[in-house]
Amino acid sequence: MLSPALSAARTAAILAQHTPLVTATRDGLVESVHYGSAVALDANGAIAAAAGDPTAPFYPRSSLKPLQAVAMVRAGLELPADLLALAAASHSGAAQHRDGALRILELHGLSVSDFENSADLPYGTAERAEWLRNGGGATQLTQNCSGKHAAMAATCVINGWPVEGYLHPDHPLQQLVAETVTELTDEEPLALSTDGCGTPLFALTLPGMARAFGLIARAAADDDGTAAAAVGLAMQQHPEMVAGESRDVTGLMRLLPGSVAKDGFEGVQLVGLADRSAVAVKISDGGDRARMPATVKLLEALGIDTSSLSTIATAPVLGGGQQVGLLQATNFLNQPSVPVNEAP
């Protein structure tokens, strides 16, 4: 085991060189700064804009779910579009999300007892409050990844794979997921870990994840019959199943036709567009509120008209119930970035 001093030195040596992406001002004074890294790829997959340290390894967290869903569809998973969108979701825990996960299980002779995810309260603020008012507690069904886990268990049944242990990295399902992630991102994982729900998690780069989302969105636009197209179209047709009402990811897909969007814990946001361009954001402090302002700024760099996204591009800072400041993106695209062709 490394000594504390050596461990700290090694951690310092690999810290990403993030840059200020989003600020919160209060009566003209910058009160908080969210650092991070960001990248925008054009329709040819070339880097059109970047900030911070875009090639630094990071964990995409739940933004991996659409890629995992592509792997499952390739393995024979067939679901109605709303349930396939739920398989790629970090849902709010509303009744439609809970019922959807149960439908996936029932279609394949499974039950909640087959889940291997962690238990949690509903993720959505309103949904969690309602659940608690009705006497509910933390469950595997209300945990925001339950749609994905229902789909993973179902994929095992379809293929004759053991359901028990479906989260183990050596399980055939997770081996297929790993191969699919490598293919779609065109990257070998830079590190391996475990996500909050128990699923294997890969460290990748922002350009790699953007590449994958661009491919999924383009496949959906072409409706080319591939697994990527099926997942992208399902997410576009049912954005309320991917996140939930009042969630910014749902709003973005509704307001920006042709987009495929997914957030992830610790300040991650991915958006793919119909022409295969894409953007990716990682907020270094994990601040969820900073994801979308930085994302909208990146979309502008791709020439996207973001006027319809004004409600999610900024947020008011309140004092005494009145707006006294603003959460907004910095001019980070005019700031120098670490060269993207250098190894992290």
Q: Record the tokens describing residue 154, joined without a space.
A: 């179902």
Nearest to 313 by CA among 9, 21, 28, 16: 21
The Cα–Cα gap between 292 and 270 comes to 10
DSSP 305-325: --GGGHHHH-EEEEETTEEEE
Q: What is the pLDDT of residues 155-192, one digit of tens each?
A: 999 999 999 999 999 999 999 999 999 999 999 999 99
Cα–Cα distances in angstroms (integers) from residue 174 to residues 35, 153, 273, 295, in the given order: 33, 11, 27, 30
Domain spans in the chain, listed from the N-terminal domain onward: 64-302
Confidence of residue 13 (pLDDT cuts 50, 70, 90): low
Please report the pLDDT score of residue 128 as a whole number: 97
Please report the pLDDT score of residue 7 as a whole number: 43
| Segment 300-314 mean pLDDT | 94
Q: What percent of the chain has pLDDT over 70?
A: 93
Nearest to 124 by CA among 94, 95, 92, 155: 92
Provide, for the chain, the percentages of residues in helix, strand and coil under a 3-state DSSP scheme, each rounded to the nearest 5.
Answer: 45, 20, 40
The Cα–Cα gap between 33 and 24 comes to 6
Please report the pLDDT score of residue 15 as a whole number: 85
**For residue 209, how many other CB atoms are within 10 A of its CB?**
31
Q: What is the pTM of this model?
A: 0.92
**For residue 112, how many other CB atoms are within 10 A of its CB?**
14
The Cα–Cα gap between 39 and 49 comes to 6
Q: What is the pLDDT of residues 136-149, one digit of tens each?
A: 999 999 999 999 99
Q: Record the tokens describing residue 188, joined without a space.
A: 């070998």
pLDDT of 344 over the 60 cut: no
Q: What is the mean pLDDT of the chain?
A: 93
The Cα–Cα gap between 47 and 292 comes to 20
